[in-house]
Structure 1
Amino acid sequence: MIKPTTFSYKKIIFLAFSALGFLFYSAGLFYNERTKISFQEKIKSEEEVLLELLIDRALTVVKTNDEIRTNLRTKKKNIAIEQYNKIANDYNGINQEIMDSKFFNENPDLRKSFIEVNNAASVNLATTYELLSLKTPYRELASNSSSFVLRYEALKKHPAITGFSFNSFNKSTLQFLIGLIGFSILSMLSIFLLIRSNRKISNLLIQKESELNTFLSVIDNMSEGVIVSDRFGFFTYYNQSALEIIGPNIKDLYYQSSLDQIGFHDLLGNKLDKAELPFHKAVNKNIVTDQEILVNNPIHPNGLYISASNGFFVDNKGDTLGAVVVMKNISHKKQ
């Protein structure tokens, strides 16, 4: 006998909602309104953002240096001096931030390259200072600002930035990824449990179907006639032995025509009405055992004696769903 198997669908639902919770939580951290930075900045590492900020500052100095020389060329020396005073110490400040940065200290090659570009640009700025100090007219020199721009942009592609590492993610991105990973794991676990439960149910159904087929095979080969009906009297199952008693055309005991054709009588030859039949008694939970009946119908015009016993089955509420009647040929005992 197969033991009943129970499945914890509540556990699957709990895991599914937990997975969604992980997703919503991580998304909330990722898009929180308190941090007013752009989406692109959120997915960049903190080191990458720092590097870009320092490069932007350095490029601003390069651009301003070009503007100073332009003002000298157009005889706007006062404006040029004012611009120079604003950026005079910027390279020193950038270099100091680089030296103080943990990230740059952990990547000495990047630190060295950045400082070298800054120093070269600082020399170019020093040349501009000398031009500001001259009393003679400014003689335009070839600008090399484009080379500095290329060198600064190349720093953004340094392996320390482009190489993959979890440490390269900023806090918001890392929280989002952790939440996404948690969501994925819980989702896969929920799917796995659901598949496993469905597989168990499928196997159980196959086993039950095999049991049912075996049971029906036994019933079909019984010498006793077996009829199963619903509570109204319509047959839901019968075996070959039952058809040999009542005939192949009767499929219910609900209609009067069927009652007339079945030809069930008591031993005195009186026709049994519906209430006296073992089928109807079973529906009313009235159990009978070995009720002797004389069958006189087109299949048995000379009469056939049978012994009938009944039973009933109910639903969860105790209401009768149907009846089962077993009929046995006892004519040899009556001869």
Structure 2
Amino acid sequence: MPAKPHLPDADADVPPHVIRQVLQLLASRGHSVDRLCKGLGFTPENLRDAGFRVSYRQTSMLVRRAMQRWGDPAMGIATGARQTVVCFGLPGLGMLTCPTLGEALLYLIKYQRAAGTLVINELAVIDERSFMIEAATRFHDPELEPFFIEEIFVSGVAVARAMVGSHVRPSRLELRYPRPAYASAYSEYFRCPVVFNAPLNRLICDMSWYHCPLPTHDSFMQESLQAQIDQLLSIGTPRNDLVESIMNVLRASVDEMPGLAQTGAALNMSERTLRRRLAELDTSYQRLVDQVRYECALDLLRRSAMPLVDIAMATGFTDARNFRRAFKRWSGILPNQIRQGVPAPRLLMPERAD
């Protein structure tokens, strides 16, 4: 049987910053965020986890639902306008250390994936008088392209205005897609000429904005703080969104792991389909169960003084002996060695049948 092709839009590789803003926007009009998230593989509570990641597929499905309920096609503008530098997470903090607005934008683009963007952004100097930010969607999705382009350009201008003043105004906005019915909203927000059906999505700005100094810059802290952020933002291999969804279900019940059928039901998927999908991803349900137990055990060993018997119970084992044996199989070392400062290896246990 030929291997199923890899689907990049299913890689859970970006923080859910856009999803958070969309849900807050809908909640402000009384819509249920739990209903909006249902069946997508995550809950509103997952969005509070700093390490939680989503895929383009999950985000696009939620955005489509939200647009149906919002009833206003300019939802991308409304979402972007809510953004602050804090919404970008650690990259936003790094922006504040930069000496100028242009360097802050370059820093954000360097870490755009970690900032939660679902488009590809580039900054280039056009000539001595102007520079541009170009944005392109990561996946071909004409229906949602306006939303994602609006969100990134509006949020960029919103953050720039918050950093250096509300008088920030681009010189021109060029957009690839046709003029929408709500085109006046663009002119109202950006306060500049807007061109539709352009070859590229570009925000063109006067060079004076690039060189505009940031009041938050600290020359003594910039290098050290950015070095710490660089280390924290080191990117690992992204998980598939199905794998991430399963692990979210498992993390909620580490001490009493649900079976394959129960987890499938939580994801609106049959046991047979779930088993097949995991096989296509070259993993197994047991592998994910053990991964979650291992992660939980490491966290408790590092952050608490709990006796091993209590950690065993908290991770689904009946006694400390079985826990030690499992931990040695997962890691090649014993639990007490973690508390002695031995670095924790990746999960070593080979695949087993479910």
Provide TM-score, normalisation by structure 1: 0.20
Provide TM-score, normalisation by structure 2: 0.19
Larger Rg: 1
Q: Looking at secondary structure, tell me which structure has more helix per residue.
A: 1
Q: Looking at secondary structure, tell me which structure has more strand per residue.
A: 1
